[in-house]
Amino acid sequence: MQSIQEIQDEIIDEFSMFEDWEERYQYMIDLGKDLPLIDDQFKTEDNIIKGCQSKVWVHAEMDDNKISFTADSDAIITKGIIAILIRAFSNQHPKDILDANTDFIDAIGLKEHLSPTRANGLVSMIKQIKMYAIAYQTQVK
Amino acid sequence: MLDINKIRKDFPILNRKVNGKPLVYFDNAATSQTPQQVIDVIVDYYSNYNANIHRGVHALSQEATDKYEAARHTVQNHFNAKHPYEIILTAGTTESINLVAHGFASILEKGDEVIVSALEHHSNIVPWQMLCEKTGAILKVIPMNLDGELVMDSYTELLSDKTKLVFVNHISNALGTVNPIEKIIEQAHKVGAAVLIDGAQACPHIKPDVQALDVDFYVASAHKICGPTGVGMLYGKEEWLTKLPPYQGGGEMIDQVSFEKTTYAGLPHKFEAGTPNICGGIAFGAALDYMNAIGFDAIEAYEKELLDYGTEKLLEIEGLKIYGTSKNKTSVISFNLEGIHPYDVGTLLDKMGIAVRTGHHCAQPIMAFFNIPGTVRASFAFYNTKEEIDALVAGVKKAKMMLS
């Protein structure tokens, strides 16, 4: 299994191949389109993270001491970034999720999307991922 | 005829680049840009006569007081108020509305009715809801039609002798619709109700005459009329301003203070507690001078040209829908691409150096009416050009291609 750090390095490598913002955003848009949607039963008010502009839904489950995340958004670029975050944090041990940082988002040129004032729900989503990790950590066997 | 190239030279910010591209600024309905003439006034104030006003015996204080009061006269003349003391300088439209709402809390009684329109900005909804919660008055809403126009027949039906207040914006911030405020005011007065008009979106485009309108309260912000943020105005008829209690207690708004009793200052100071935004007020006056030197007739005609051009060009894009299609609207185009979230379009336009607003524009009831999460809103000012609109259209096409 790859560690969070290894996955993040891999993502940075992939993004370094893009020459301009268009390629970078086209890639994210395509990721957004490919993101497996969250199961409808989890697309509830409880699972919604309200940004001012785009909505994000996150659902987490733990199996074999690893948390898996599924998520969705009504905006496709937000969804693309979610796909990247899920790739980095899903199927990982709660403690590793808690210890991980999100600096790689800067490295791939998407820092602006994680500004707390961006109102797209992503900052809250990362917070939510960490909250799930804290909650599930207590259930690790 | 406006000399756009000359006008654009007045705005230093229009020369900057965003994300490596020349800035195309189409978020004017949120905040207009500031001409050098106004920036100079701000610099001059802090460089030469920064002092507290109305109290000092020294020269700087006198100079600052004279300039501040001269600005009040400029605002008075601009809006054609009868008296300078009918102009209260505030922190902006929102504060002006809250000041009036606060005042009416002691006037309204349970069962009284207040009317707002379905086209309002949150700042012209929430203070009234709070007022109704406090007083037991009932909030009624004038509905809108699919073109984003108020349904005037419904308005007439809502009016009764229970109606005490009507609050409508002059122009909708989300859709650009110009509301028939003359009729709204006239009909409200027939049942004895007072009217507050939120002119935040109107003042960048037209010059309202509060006496001709016979409006009771008119509010606006400087930062949408080429002035600085944090300053705005409330016009109130003398009889109303005399009737309303003070909004905030503090220095400046008093006549005599003892621990037994305080008597309040006369108008306008009764509503201007504490040290005001002195520099902002003076710069507000300078901004109105700047706009008037260009001339509102010329501004209106040119912006209409931009609106027509932008509407025509944007509608050529397949799947683009414009919200707010009243014939009577200002240079605001609120739109969506079919099946695409406005946030995505706005994000990609930003990468191309084009500043638009996306989201619900603080008008969630309007978005709920159209059943959309929000729109992309491009709002044009007199310093924008058709070439910039071409850049927007190309940008929207590119965004559509990338997102489809």
* ipTM, two decimals: 0.88
Domain boundary residue, one of B293, B320, B346: B293
Kindly state whether residues B237 and B359 are assigned to the same domain: no
Flag if A52 and B348 touch (Cβ within 8 Å): no
Mean pLDDT over B91-106 rounds to 94
Share of chain A above pLDDT 90, in %: 48
Kindly state whether residues B206 and B79 are assigned to the same domain: yes
- Please report the pLDDT score of residue B271 as a whole number: 93
Kindly state whether residues B234 and B264 are assigned to the same domain: yes
Give chain B's domain count.
2
Q: Given a cut of 70, is residue B145 above it in pLDDT? A: yes
Domain boundary residue, one of B259, B293, B327: B293
Q: Give the closest-approach CA distance of A31 to chain B in angstroms.
A: 11
| Among chain B residues, CA nearest to A26 | B402
Q: How far apart are CA A37 and CA B221, in angstroms?
A: 44
Q: Which of A21, A22, A76 sits opposite B344 (nearest CB)?
A: A76
Chain centroid to CA B25: 18
Mean pLDDT over B244-252 rounds to 83
Q: Give the closest-approach CA distance of B349 to chain A in angstroms.
A: 11
Structural domain range at position B71: 39-293
Interhelix angle A76-89/B342-351, rounded to 10 degrees, is: 90
Q: Which residues of B are catalytic?
A: 362
CB contact burial B147-157 (16+ within 10 A = b; e otherwise): ebbbeeeebee
Flag if A74 and B373 touch (Cβ within 8 Å): yes
pLDDT digits (tens, 9 = 90+) for B371-399: 998 999 999 999 999 999 999 999 999 99
CB atoms within 10 A of CB B16: 10
Kindly state whether residues B227 and B357 are assigned to the same domain: no
Task: Point out the least confidently predicted range of A96-110, B246-260, B335-349.
Answer: B246-260
Kindly state whether residues B251 and B356 are assigned to the same domain: no
Q: Which residues of A are catalytic?
A: 52
pLDDT digits (tens, 9 = 90+) for B184-224: 999 999 999 999 999 999 999 999 999 999 999 999 999 99
Pick from B398, B402, B386, B400: which is nearest to B26 by CA?
Answer: B386
Mean pLDDT over A101-114 rounds to 82
Pick from B311, B395, B341: which is nearest to B22 by CA?
Answer: B395
The answer to whether B358 faces chain A, any CB pair under 8 Å, is yes
Contact B377, B370 (CB under 8 A): no
Flag if A120 and B343 touch (Cβ within 8 Å): yes
Domain boundary residue, one of B293, B310, B328: B293
Contact B11, B33 (CB under 8 A): yes
Task: Say if strands B254-257 and B262-264 run parallel, antiparallel, or are unpaired.
Answer: antiparallel
Q: Given a cut of 90, is residue B96 above it in pLDDT? A: yes
Task: Point out the least confidently predicted range of A40-44, B48-52, B318-322.
Answer: A40-44
The answer to whether B342 faces chain A, any CB pair under 8 Å, is yes
Chain A from 36 to 75: CB within 8 A of any B CB? 52-55, 74-75
Best B17, B347, B357, B367 residue to mutate vs chain A (most A CBs within 10 Å):
B347
Kindly state whether residues B288 and B320 are assigned to the same domain: no
Kindly state whether residues B162 and B92 are assigned to the same domain: yes
Q: How far apart are CA B150 and CA B402, in angstroms?
A: 37
Flag if A54 and B373 touch (Cβ within 8 Å): yes
Within 13 Å, how many C-alpha atoms sit on residue B41's CB side?
A: 24
Q: Can you give the CATH number for the domain in which B261 is found?
A: 3.40.640.10
Q: Given a cut of 70, is residue B11 above it in pLDDT? A: yes
Q: How far apart are CA B347 and CA B337, in angstroms?
A: 14
Within 8 A of A77 by CB-CB distance, chain B residues are 343-344, 347-348
Kindly state whether residues B309 and B333 are assigned to the same domain: yes
Flag if A55 and B342 touch (Cβ within 8 Å): no
Q: Given a cut of 80, is residue A113 above it in pLDDT? A: no
The answer to whether A6 faces chain B, any CB pair under 8 Å, is no
Pick from A64, A65, A90, A76: which is nearest to A8 by CA?
Answer: A90
Kindly state whether residues B320 and B390 are assigned to the same domain: yes
Pick from A125, A29, A8, A25: which is nearest to B350 by CA?
Answer: A25
- This prediction's pTM: 0.92
Q: In this structure, what are the phi and psi dihedrals at residue B7, rounded to the nearest 5 degrees? A: -60, -45
Give the CA-trace dihedral at B390, B391, B394, B395, to 10 degrees.
Answer: -140
| Among chain A residues, CA nearest to B357 | A53
pLDDT digits (tens, 9 = 90+) for A41-100: 888 888 887 665 788 888 999 999 999 999 888 889 988 988 999 999 999 999 999 999
- Please report the pLDDT score of residue A118 as a whole number: 65
Kindly state whether residues B263 and B301 are assigned to the same domain: no
Within 8 A of A29 by CB-CB distance, chain B residues are 344, 402-403
User: Domains in chain A, please, with CATH?
Assistant: 4-38+48-137 (3.90.1010.10)
Chain A from 102 to 121: CB within 8 A of any B CB? 119-120
Kindly state whether residues B335 and B252 are assigned to the same domain: no
Within 8 A of B374 by CB-CB distance, chain A residues are 53
- Please report the pLDDT score of residue B288 as a whole number: 98
Kindly state whether residues B177 and B267 are assigned to the same domain: yes
Q: Can you give the CATH number for the domain in which B391 is found?
A: 3.90.1150.10
| A120 confidence band (pLDDT: 50, 70, 90) | low
